[in-house]
Structure 1
Amino acid sequence: MGKYNELAKKIVENVGGEGNINSLTHCITRLRFKLKDESKANDDILKNMDGVVTVMKSGGQYQVVIGNHVPDVYADVIEVAHLSGESEEAPSDGNIFNRLIDILSGCFQPFLGALAAAGMVKGVNALFVFLKLYTDTSGNYTMLNGIGDAIFYFMPVILGYTAAKKFRLNPMVGIVIGAALCYPSVQGGALQAAYEAGAGAGAAAPFSLLGLPAYETFLGIPWVGASYTSSVVPIIFIVAFAAQIQKIAKKVIPAVVQTFLVPFFVLLIALPIGFLIIGPIISMLTDLLSSGFSALMNFSPALYGIILGFFWQVLVIFGLHWSVIPLAIMQLTQDGASQVLVASFGASFAQTAVVIAMYFKLKDKKLKALCPPAIISGIFGVTEPAIYGITLPKKKPFIFSMIGAAAAGFYMMSSGVISYVMGGLGIFGVVNFIDKAGDASGMMKSFIGIAIAGLIGFLLTFFFWKDDAVEEEVKAVSDSKISVNKEIVATPIQGTIAPLATSKDAAFAQGALGKGVLIHPTKGEVVAPFDGTVMTLFPTKHAIGLISDNGLELLIHIGLDTVQLDGKYFEAFVQQNDTVKKGQVLVRFDIDAIQKAGYNVETPIIVTNAGDYLDILESQNKTIGAGEELITALV
Structure 2
Amino acid sequence: MKYEKLAKDIIANVGGKENVNGLTHCVTRLRFKLKDESKANTEVLKNMDGIVTVVKSGGQYQIVIGQHVSDVYDDVVSIAGFTVDSEEESKEKLNPFNAFIDIVSGVFQPLLGILCATGMIKGLNAILISTKLLESSSSTYMVLNSIADCLFYFFPIFLGFTAAKKFKLNQFIGMAIGGALVYPTIVGIAGKTMDFFGITMVMPASGYASTVIPIILSVYIASKVEKLLKKIIPDVVKSFLIPFFTLLIVVPLTFIAIGPVATGASNILATVTMSIYNLSPVLAGLFLGAFWQVFVMFGLHWGLIPIAMNNISLLGGDPVLATVMAVSFAQTGVVMAIMAKTKDKKLKSLCIPAVISGFFGVTEPAIYGITLPKKKPFIVSCIIGAITGGIIGAFRSTLYSVGAMGIFVLPSYVNPQGVDNGFYGFVLAMVVGLVLGF
CA positional deviation for 1:169: 1.0
Greater Rg by CA? 1
Q: What letter corresponds to residue 255 of structure 2 in structure 1? A: F
Contact 2:118 2:147 in 1 (8 A): yes
CA distance in 1: counterparts of 2:138 and 2:147, whole angstroms: 15
Contact 1:305 1:410 in 2 (8 A): yes
- What are the Cα deviations for residues 145-175 of structure 1, in whole angstroms up to 9, with x where unaligned? 1112211211111121122111111111111
Map of 1:249 onto structure 2? 229
CA positional deviation for 1:219: 3.5
Q: What letter corresponds to residue 159 of structure 2 in structure 1? A: L
What runs of 5+ residues in structure 1 fail to find an aligned partner? 9-26, 33-70, 196-214, 327-340, 376-385, 419-423, 435-442, 464-635
CA positional deviation for 1:427: 4.7
Residue 111 to residue 85, structure 1, CA distance change in 2 (3 Å): closer
Alignment partner for residue 325 of structure 2, among 322, 341, 351?
Answer: 351
- What are the Cα deviations for residues 58-106 of structure 1, in whole angstroms up to 9, with x where unaligned? xxxxxxxxxxxxx977644647xxx565243637864433322222222
Q: Identify, as 1 or 2, the structure richer in strand.
A: 1
Alignment partner for residue 29 of structure 1, among 16, 20, 26?
Answer: 16
Contact 2:163 2:174 in 1 (8 A): yes
Please give the TM-score of this superposition, normalised by the length of structure 2. 0.57
What runs of 5+ residues in structure 2 fail to find an aligned partner? 9-13, 20-73, 290-300, 337-349, 368-377, 399-409
Residue 284 to residue 72, structure 1, CA distance change in 2 (3 Å): same
- Counting only pairs closer than 5 Å after superposition, residues 1-150 of structure 1 correspond to structure 2 as 28-29=15-16, 31=18, 75-76=78-79, 78=81, 86-88=86-88, 90=90, 94-150=94-150
- What are the Cα deviations for residues 389-434 of structure 1, in whole angstroms up to 9, with x where unaligned? xx9xxxx99x999956762365247xxx99xxxxx96453498587
Contact 2:326 2:385 in 1 (8 A): no
* 1:222 alignment partner, SS class: strand
CA positional deviation for 1:230: 1.5
Contact 2:155 2:211 in 1 (8 A): yes
CA distance in 2: counterparts of 1:401 and 1:275, whole angstroms: 47
Q: Does 1:411 align with 2:388?
A: no
* 1:127 alignment partner, SS class: helix
Identical aligned residues as a percent: 29
CA distance in 2: counterparts of 1:366 and 1:275, whole angstroms: 50
* 2:280 alignment partner, SS class: helix
* 2:200 alignment partner, SS class: strand
- What are the Cα deviations for residues 459-500 of structure 1, in whole angstroms up to 9, with x where unaligned? 99x79xxxxxxxxxxxxxxxxxxxxxxxxxxxxxxxxxxxxx
What is the aligned-residue RMSD (CA, Å)? 5.1
CA distance in 1: counterparts of 2:276 and 2:4, whole angstroms: 59
Map of 2:71 onto structure 1? none
Q: What letter corresponds to residue 252 of structure 1 in structure 2? A: I
Q: What letter corresponds to residue 246 of structure 1 in structure 2? A: E
Q: Identify, as 1 or 2, the structure richer in helix.
A: 2
CA positional deviation for 1:123: 2.7
CA positional deviation for 1:264: 1.3
Map of 2:160 onto structure 1? 160
Map of 2:213 onto structure 1? 233
CA distance in 2: counterparts of 1:280 and 1:94, whole angstroms: 29
Map of 1:482 onto structure 2? none
Contact 1:159 1:178 in 2 (8 A): yes
Alignment partner for residue 447 of structure 1, among 421, 424, 428?
Answer: 424
Map of 1:600 onto structure 2? none
- What are the Cα deviations for residues 226-258 of structure 1, in whole angstroms up to 9, with x where unaligned? 322112222222112211211111111111111
CA distance in 2: counterparts of 1:356 and 1:91, whole angstroms: 41
Residue 408 to residue 96, structure 1, CA distance change in 2 (3 Å): farther
For these two proteins, the number of residue pairs brought into alignment is 323
Contact 1:177 1:239 in 2 (8 A): yes
CA distance in 2: counterparts of 1:183 and 1:170, whole angstroms: 20
Alignment partner for residue 196 of structure 2, among 206, 214, 218?
Answer: 218
Q: Does 1:317 align with 2:303?
A: no
CA positional deviation for 1:324: 6.6
Contact 2:281 2:394 in 1 (8 A): no
Q: What letter corresponds to residue 189 of structure 2 in structure 1? A: A
Map of 2:258 onto structure 1? 278
Q: Taking CA–CA contacts closer than 8 Å with sequence separation of 6 or more, which of the two structures ends up with the larger relative contact order? A: 2
CA positional deviation for 1:143: 0.7
Residue 243 to residue 403, structure 1, CA distance change in 2 (3 Å): farther
CA distance in 2: counterparts of 1:162 and 1:270, whole angstroms: 17
